[in-house]
A and B are shown apart, each in its own frame.
Chain A
Amino acid sequence: QSVLTQPPSASGTPGQRVTISCSGSSSNIGSNYVYWYQQLPGTAPKLLIYRNNQRPSGVPDRFSGSKSGTSASLAISGLRSEDEADYYCAAWDDSLSGHWVFGGGTKLTVL
């Protein structure tokens, strides 16, 4: 049972816009930044969004992040086949001396 809640799956057709939600609490998303990681099959996670809505260099602007209260979302527009991957949200949790928490991950399928 992950501390942050994500839908286990999402799907879309090429060119579509999809969103993935991430729900937390006041001790994590409600008071800290949200981060998103993309994990392509058989590879290590890659930082996709940091500090709620910032993209690292090299990440296409098709990817965007937002946060409101204790929830966050990742949006992918102009969906492409290479976007098929697992997506994880993460946030620092202030409880118990502080620790990182992750969502359970969302498997994105491009139909």
Chain B
Amino acid sequence: QVQLQESGPGLVKPSETLSLTCTVSGGSVSSGSYYWSWIRQPPGKGLEWIGYIYYSGSTNYNPSLKSRVTISVDTSKNQFSLKLSSVTAADTAVYYCARNRIVIAVAGDMDVWGKGTTVTVSS
């Protein structure tokens, strides 16, 4: 059974870079059947997709965050990572990683999610 686990600092200073890692267990990030996504949820608000990566390294980002986001994959460690630069208080959120099934070469459902990690942006 595939499990995802987010990790990284819970507190980031304004203008700095938020860095998180998602470790995949019980499955392989190198599977060609999935994209690997990051999603976030500000306190008391809804879900926002940040972006995804394929094991080959190809990425797709939310247009509203594209200028600040980098998602990378490390197949040797079975992990993928998120970097969000120039953070502000508006980036305070629970950050989730999720497995994104590929359906006829297009992103399908996010069928496995991590438990989420809270990141607060504050000085």
Contacts and interface: CB of A to CB of B under 8 A. Distances in A.
Interface of A: 2, 32-33, 35, 37, 43-47, 50-51, 56, 88, 90, 92, 96-105
A97 to B, nearest CB: 7
B109 A99 contact: no
27 contacts: A2-B46, A33-B108, A35-B108, A37-B110, A43-B115, A44-B96, A44-B114, A44-B115, A45-B39, A47-B111, A50-B109, A50-B111, A51-B103, A51-B108, A51-B109, A90-B47, A90-B110, A92-B106, A99-B49, A99-B60, A99-B62, A100-B62, A100-B107, A102-B46, A102-B48, A103-B46, A105-B47
Interface of B: 37, 39, 46-49, 60-63, 96, 103, 106-111, 113-116
A100 B96 CA distance: 14
Given A44-B116, A105-B47, A97 B63 contact: yes
Contact of B103 (A33, A100, A103): A33
A45 to B, nearest CB: 6
Task: Identify the 5 closest CB pairs spanning chains A and B, nearest first.
Answer: A100-B49, A50-B109, A44-B113, A105-B46, A96-B63
